[in-house]
């Protein structure tokens, strides 16, 4: 898959404030966040493209990057660990700062300390690290395979969606007698 997270913004930096670029960004989650795919079946790993429209806006001295990207991810159910397909929406909004003045060629020491937000001396703006962090933040905290997932038995680990396990107490015999009575009435 062709990723395009590394953007050359030299031309945009030469333009006046308010100039924009639109890019349809594509990221490969295998490469961006390999930890997401740990323990996921290979068949399910095919679902791994994060993509969406991103706008770059030339501001005073910086470039404002805004976008909304979508993916579908496979996560373990929070109760029974079965794989769950979950939609992922990543809101991207970051200000990237040049480290070289495009006109004078002078080095700039950015006030921004996070180097992931620096545009390098070749005028390359790299979305990789900010998107990686945004994906991890956007993950659903409590994915469920279904709303009423019964989860795993805390004692024997059986999947209770497949039926009760042997750890469960036998039904109260008084209820069994009542059930027999009701059956007899049918």
Residue 92, both tokens = 């991207």
CB of 154 to Zn ion, least distance (A): 8
Residues near 49 by beta carbon (within 8 Å), at least 6 away in sequence:
1, 26, 27, 28, 29, 71
Binding mask 130-149 for Zn ion (x = CB under 5 A): ---------------x---x
Site of tokens 């079946």 = 41
Q: Which helix (H) or strand (E) holds 26?
A: strand 20-28
CB of 84 to Zn ion, least distance (A): 7
Burial of 60 (0-12, 13-18, 19+ CB in 10 A): exposed
Asked whether position 59 contacts Zn ion by CB under 5 A, the answer is no
User: Which C-beta is closer to Zn ion: that of 95 or that of 144?
Assistant: 144
Residue 120, both tokens = 């390098």
Site of tokens 């068949």 = 43
Q: How many residues bind Zn ion (CB under 5 A)?
A: 12
Restricted to residues 66-125, the positions that interact with Zn ion (CB under 5 A) are 77, 79-80, 82
Tell me how far apart the alpha carbons of residues 186 and 169 are, in angstroms, rounded to a whole number. 28
CB of 43 to Zn ion, least distance (A): 19
Asked whether position 155 contacts Zn ion by CB under 5 A, the answer is yes
User: Which C-beta is closer to Zn ion: that of 53 or that of 164?
Assistant: 164
CB of 36 to Zn ion, least distance (A): 18
């Amino acid at each position: 898959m062709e990723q395009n997270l590394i953007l050359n913004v030299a031309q945009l930096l030469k333009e006046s404030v308010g100039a924009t670029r639109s890019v349809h960004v594509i990221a490969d989650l295998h490469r961006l966040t390999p930890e997401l795919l740990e323990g996921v079946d290979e068949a399910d790993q095919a679902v791994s493209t994060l993509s969406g429209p991103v706008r770059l806006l030339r501001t005073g001295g910086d470039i404002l990057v805004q976008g909304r990207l979508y993916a579908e991810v496979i996560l373990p159910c929070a109760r029974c660990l079965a794989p769950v397909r979950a939609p992922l929406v990543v809101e991207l909004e970051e200000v990237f700062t040049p480290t070289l003045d495009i006109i004078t060629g002078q080095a700039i020491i950015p006030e921004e300390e996070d180097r992931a937000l620096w545009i390098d001396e070749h005028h390359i703006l790299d979305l990789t690290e900010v998107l990686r962090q945004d994906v991890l933040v956007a993950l659903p905290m409590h994915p469920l395979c279904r709303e009423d997932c019964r989860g795993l038995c805390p004692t024997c680990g059986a999947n209770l969606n497949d039926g009760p396990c042997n750890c469960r107490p036998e039904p109260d015999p008084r209820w069994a007698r009542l059930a027999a009575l009701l059956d007899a009435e049918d």
